[in-house]
A and B are shown apart, each in its own frame.
Chain A
Amino acid sequence: MMDPAEVEFIAEKQMVEIVPNFNFDRVYLISGEIGPFRAGLPVKVPIWMAINLRQRQKCRILVPDWMDVEKLEQAKEDESASRYFTKMPSEHYMAEAQLILSACGEDVPRADEIRTALKDLWDMRMSKLRSSVDTFIKTGGTHARLDHLTLMEMNSVRPLLPHALDQLHRLSTVRFVFSPLVNSSSCFDMHISILYYCFWC
């Protein structure tokens, strides 16, 4: 499992557009090169750099397209209409929004509405996740598709679900350890372990 801060750290690698107010040459980093920075011209940088520059008043962050009340309302409608998880505009939508809005909330028009819409979306997806985890355990499902589930959401069930699957696996195999009559139980268990692996890694 990961700490939410670690997920946030991963999300900070996402690119965002900024408008710098300084001139600077290309910066060469292990993850790739950034820049060159020309005052007034938009450039793509990772979020961590954007936030740092913004804090020093060196740039203006251009909010990503999807961070917009209408688009989020649309996403909310799609989410409630679908039985499954819908595709989110960004792999780390929650973390990105948290980072950008807390760094430059005052620059973004209707920031509060965006926050509320995101929270609604998050809550909707979490309740969906919770009920699907529940049915998964109850019906003894062998595998689950986790399309369009973001890392932060996956992490929210993390120590609990894999540990529960662990115990379930242990309870269902333990009697075969003692008794000599081993029969074909392991197919189910193998699937459980595979799923467990997906959540663990």
Chain B
Amino acid sequence: MPLLRSYTPHYFSIDDIMATQERLPCKFEVDVLRLGEYCRNQAKIIMSNTTALKVAKKSFLDPSSDDEDIKTGTTLELPYWLARALCNRNRSIVSVNIPRIYKEAYREILKAEASVVDLHRLCVYFYEFGSYLSGFNHRDSTEIGNLLVQCFKDRFRLIMDWAQNSSGDTSGSGRGAGSDPTARLDNLERGLLITGRSSWEALEAWLSQGGGRPIGPANMVVNHQKRQLANASVS
């Protein structure tokens, strides 16, 4: 079994990219000229030389307005990476509002009984997005940070139980009709569940099979042999 590393976000990690893609409501603090619906086509033409910027322009667009500019006070849902760039200490073009699921009402639900909440439905990257949000200089930031830790602690038992009872998926705790209860886990928790489950299965197999099993060749050796065979047959 290979050495398993736990998940840490890095530049190329898809999960991290997806998590920063989550949208959050932002209010414009200044007029943003010529980025409304009206001049979408022009913006496209101007920006067509860089694809990345084109995408950015598109998300700037407010499809509901007929105006050429985005007026002060307009509220739009921007992805996190854009909001982060537009709202910091040097530049505050927008002011960030916390998404619904991290607000007081939902926080109370999670505090009351975190283990029954369907996190996957709330947000697939609940913990990742939440920890990014707590980086904003918002009055709820600390609260969100604490919430994530508490929520993770409360739900850990659930993950551990599911990881160690892999066969009993549909029993008891599934609330939806016949649905897999593990569908209620956020992406981070699901990763933990999968690694936990695979190691538990290995242990169970060992316990039931007994000691002194014949030892097979390592994966690497098998693959190497296959490759050699393939090379030989090609040449």
Contact = CB atoms under 8 A, between A and B. Distances in A.
Pairing of A with B:
yes
Interface of A: 1-5, 8, 51, 94-95, 98-103, 122, 130, 133-134, 137-138, 140, 152, 155-156, 158-160, 162-164, 166-168, 170-172, 174-175, 177-179
B206 A159 contact: no
**Most interface-central of A137, A140, A164, A172 (chain B CB within 10 A):** A164
A100 B211 CA distance: 8
B5 to A, nearest CB: 9
A112 to B, nearest CB: 13
Contact of B200 (A103, A156, A166): A156
A152 B206 CA distance: 11
Contacts of A98: 206-207, 210-212
Given A99-B211, A167-B192, A134 B3 contact: no
Contacts of B141: 175, 179
A4 B199 CA distance: 9
A166 B148 contact: no
Contacts of B132: 178
Q: Tell me the interface secondary structure of chain B in the complex.
A: helix
Interface stretch (B27-35, B102-110, B155-163): B155-163
A160 B154 contact: no
B219 to A, nearest CB: 12
Given A3-B202, A4-B203, A171 B131 contact: yes
B230 interface: no
Contacts of A168: 149, 152-153
A168 B6 CA distance: 11
Nearest to A99: B211
B134 A174 contact: yes
Nearest to A119: B207
Most buried by A among B132, B153, B200: B153
A130 B4 contact: no
B213 interface: yes
A82 to B, nearest CB: 23
A159 B195 contact: yes
Interface residues of B, number: 43
A101 B210 CA distance: 9
B74 interface: no
A51 B213 CA distance: 12
Interface string B180-196: 00000000100010011
A197 to B, nearest CB: 13
Nearest to A115: B210
A170 B131 CA distance: 9
B137 interface: yes
Given A102-B211, A171-B149, A172-B149, A137 B156 contact: yes
Given A130-B160, A130-B164, A160 B145 contact: no
A105 to B, nearest CB: 9
B156 A1 contact: no
Nearest to B193: A160
Contacts of A160: 159-160, 163, 192, 195-196, 199
Contacts of B164: 130
A2 B210 contact: no
22 contacts: A1-B4, A3-B202, A4-B206, A4-B207, A5-B213, A8-B211, A98-B206, A152-B203, A159-B199, A160-B195, A163-B196, A164-B159, A166-B8, A167-B7, A168-B149, A171-B145, A171-B148, A172-B149, A174-B135, A174-B145, A175-B134, A178-B132
Nearest to A126: B164
B112 interface: no
B127 interface: yes
B153 A140 contact: yes
